[in-house]
Amino acid sequence: MANITKDLFVFANLDGEFVPAGQLLVDEEGSTLLASSFAYGLRYLDRGNAQEIDPLNLSLKNKEAIRGKRLVPPNNLEAFGGIRDAAPDAWGRRVIEARLKVPANSLPESTYLLEAGSDRVGALDVRLSLDQEERPAHESIHNLSYILEGAQKVEAGLPVSEALSRILIVGSGLGGMRPKASVRDDENILWMAKFPGNNDRLLDVPSIEYGTLKLAELAGLNVAKTKLEQVGKNKVLMVKRFDRSWKTSTRLVEIRHHVVSALTLIACHESESNTKSYMDIADAIRRYCLVQNVKSDVEELYARMIFNLFVSNDDDHLRNHAFLWNHELKGWGLSPLYDVMPHPVIASERYQHLGIGPQGKLATIDNAYATKERFGLSSDQANSIIDRVWRVVRQWKMYFEEFGISSDQIEGISRAFRHIDDICSPTLLKAIAKGQTPD
Ligand SMILES: Nc1ncnc2c1ncn2[C@@H]1O[C@H](COP(=O)(O)OP(=O)(O)O)[C@@H](O)[C@H]1O
Ligand SMILES: [Mg+2]
């Protein structure tokens, strides 16, 4: 198969308007991406409000050093993480393939990048030419039932009508595996709608994810704003887009914040994600995030790790941790928490996707406690985080009832929630209760 080089244009949305950010060259052979390179546009580099496309090899810290240069991804990777994060992931790919009527994963990476629409996650758009227009990819919240019907067909691999296939672009710019779509409410605020999946069996995943995110908020974590919508007989989880903020001048202006995943900050290949750890994310935060927020971001990450242990959220891979561009401070910071789904595992010995301590991925408080120094935490601070999270999680059933989640669903998911006695040694437990260092 021939090796083809394609010439693409990356746009970034600054103060509500898309401007060209630079030129991306990709070498492809069929559906395999071989290599890519990027050169920032000179005018883009001169803009005071330019957003960094990638904090590693496309950093804007030293603009003179990169002016006019063609740059390549770090660690011999074939793609820049900051651009790959603007590409559709499993779900978006299925939607694009359904629209174009082609088999799964058969398209070149450049096609996925180009087809994802302008409402994709983050602040970027990828276009074929400098004069290609913006392609909005969202729908009104009032069309949720129609979009849900289309999503179910895509998931089942069924053909979709022409009209439905046009509407389905609203799901193509969002990452992750589960069916979803971008929708706007009556105030024009953008939300990510997460639908039930065809394979969820008896679990009402949108309601359980909603309950768990609310629980995390009660435990003091910084969580994306959520609500549940009833669509026919289904529940749909609505997550307010944290990569957008809205400012009112003479009209409501939508500001887009570029998003990069922890996969990008750690600069590894997706297949290496399960060899990495929360400590690697903490180190990457120290290296690439705003210095004034490092302490609080790393502490928040530790609290999220503890929360994930308690609720058996073992899908905590590197794409489920994200970083947002802060326009005022011109730098990166940890995004709100998202995608937290308890996994009702039977085994009592459980494992996270990422490493959490000297015993690797083993999901115990002792393992997480042993690594607190890597998060800059004293014994007192670690004790108080664990205590704070446990005080809320221990009452999860009561909270889930308050959130309106049915007793069947509570029963169905209850194995996922862990009692501290089962994941913490008696010595450590005593020390946490007393706020001391264990002997
Ligand atoms: N509230 C949000 N605002 C903006 N981007 C989001 C939000 N929630 C998730 N994302 C982005 O969308 C991707 C998919 O969402 P996620 O909830 O992880 O879906 P899935 O359950 O399919 O993995 C995430 O990896 C993240 O990049
Ligand atoms: Mg996810």
CATH for 155: 3.30.200.120
Domain co-membership, 123 together with 150:
no
Nearest CA to ligand 1 atom 27: 175
The preferred substitution site among 338, 341, 343, 353 for testing ligand 1, maximizing ligand atoms within 8 Å of CB, is 338
Atom of ligand 1 nearest to the CA of 261: 27
- Residues 117 and 68 grouped into a single domain: yes
Same domain, 301 and 322: yes
Q: Which pLDDT band holds residue 439 (cuts at 50, 70, 90)?
A: low
Over residues 422-438, the mean pLDDT reads 87
- 206 occurs within a structural domain: yes
Check whether residue 280 and residue 371 sit in a common domain.
Answer: yes
User: Which residue, of 100, 127, 154, is where some domain finishes?
Assistant: 127
Residue 303 scores a pLDDT above 80? yes
| CA distance to 11, 19, 65, 186, 343, per residue, from 128 (Å) | 11, 14, 27, 32, 41
Q: Which domain holds residue 149?
A: 139-240
Place of tokens 């039932």: 145
Strand 322-326 relative to strand 331-334, pairing: antiparallel
- Which mutation among 93, 119, 121, 209 tests ligand 1's pocket best, with the greatest number of atoms within 8 A of CB? 121
Question: Is 433:391 a contact under the CB 8 Å cutoff?
Answer: no
Mean pLDDT of 97-111: 92
> Which listed ligand is nearest to 190 at the C-alpha?
1
**What would the two tokens of residue 178 be?**
């589960």
**CATH number of residue 297's parent domain:** 1.10.1070
Kindly report the three-state secondary structure assignment for every residue of 69-133: CCECCHHHCCCCHHHHCCCCCHHHHHHHHHHHCCCCCCCCHHHHHHHCCCCCCCCEEEECCCCCC
Amino acid in position 125 = D
Confidence bin at 159 (pLDDT 50/70/90): confident
Residues 333 and 267 grouped into a single domain: yes
Query: What's the average model confidence in pLDDT over 291-304?
Result: 98
Residues near 432 by Cβ (< 8 Å), separated by ≥ 6? 365, 383, 386, 387, 424
Q: How many domains does the chain have?
A: 3
Query: Do 232 and 335 share a domain, yes or no?
Result: no
Q: Is residue 290 included in any domain, yes or no?
A: yes
The answer to whether residues 41 and 72 belong to one domain is yes
Q: Give the other-Cβ count within 10 Å of 372's Cβ.
A: 18
Q: How far apart are CA 141 and CA 85, in angstroms?
A: 25
Atom of ligand 1 nearest to the CA of 191: 1
Q: Is the model's pLDDT at 283 over the cut of 70?
A: yes
Residue 133 resides in a domain: no
- Length of the chain equals 439
Q: Is 249 contained in some domain?
A: no
Determine the distance separating the centroid of ligand 1 and the alpha carbon of 20, expressed in angstroms. 25
Compute the distance from residue 338 Cα to the ligand 1 centre, in Å: 6
Confidence category of residue 154, pLDDT binned at 50, 70, 90: confident
Q: Is residue 74 part of a domain?
A: yes
User: Is the CB of residue 177 below 6 angstroms from any atom belonging to ligand 1?
Assistant: yes
Per-residue burial over 119-137, b = 16 or more CB atoms within 10 Å of its CB, e = otherwise: bbbbbbbbbeeeeeeeeeb
121 in contact with ligand 1, CB cutoff 6 A: yes
Pocket perturbation via mutation, ligand 1, pick of 174, 198, 337 by most ligand atoms within 8 A of CB: 174
145 is a domain residue: yes
Sign, CA dihedral 410-416-417-419, equals positive
The closest ligand to the CA of 178 turns out to be 1
Residue pLDDT, tens place only, 245-272: 988 877 888 999 999 999 999 999 999 9
- Other Cβ atoms closer than 10 A to 385: 24
Q: How much distance in Å is there from the Cα of 315 to the middle of ligand 2?
A: 8
Ligand 1 contact via 210 beta carbon (within 6 Å): no
Residues 317 and 423 in one domain: yes
Higher pLDDT, 319 or 146: 319
Indicate which atom in ligand 1 lies nearest the CA of residue 177. Answer: 22
Task: Say yes or no: CB of residue 335 within 6 Å of ligand 1.
Answer: no
What pLDDT was estimated at residue 365? 98
